[in-house]
Amino acid sequence: TMVAACIRLASLQAERAIPTSRLSESSDIDSGQFHRSCSILRDNLDRTLPAPKPAGYLAFLGDELTVDEEQLQASAQVLEDVAGTQSLVGKDPGGIAAAALYLSAEDLIQSDVAEAIGVSTETVRTRVTQLRGLVSDG
């Protein structure tokens, strides 16, 4: 649990976020203990880490789904175009990143993208609809 917490905090510090669901999916890791360990580490190391941004998950998704750099850049552009949009505030940044990647990479399957980031296909579908609307409005 402590190793997973260290990896999570390091990934946030490097702005290459790894979803907590992927780090705590092992049967050996209790989700509650994982979150407590993250808090304890953050406090003891006196670290203030930024909240993860959707773009911070793109490297993880690119590695998980073997996506090329051009598709990652297109996804990053989508995320940049919608940055600061009120309708996305409070939404899972991993789900937003997954939706942007799904929109940018025609050969990806929605369920594969959802599984890679650790959200439901419904979450990806909802975020895709939101992103399409935001991009077309902009």
Question: What integer pLDDT is reported at residue 136 of this predicted model?
Answer: 83
Q: Are the CB atoms for 110 and 121 separated by under 8 Å?
A: yes
Q: So what's the pLDDT on residue 138?
A: 58
Cβ–Cβ under 8 Å, residues 24 and 31: yes
Q: How confident is the model at residue 135 (pLDDT cuts 50, 70, 90)?
A: confident
Q: Which long-range contacts does 24-27 make (Cβ < 8 Å, 24+ apart)?
A: 25/118
For residues 114 and 128, is the Cβ–Cβ distance under 8 A? no
Burial label for 41, CB within 10 Å (0-12, 13-18, 19+), is middle
First to last CA, the chain: 43
**pLDDT over threshold 90, residue 128:** yes
Quickly state the pLDDT bin for 134 (edges 50, 70, 90): very high
What 8-state DSSP symbol labels residue 109? Answer: -
* Mean pLDDT of the residues in the chain: 92
pLDDT of residue 137: 72
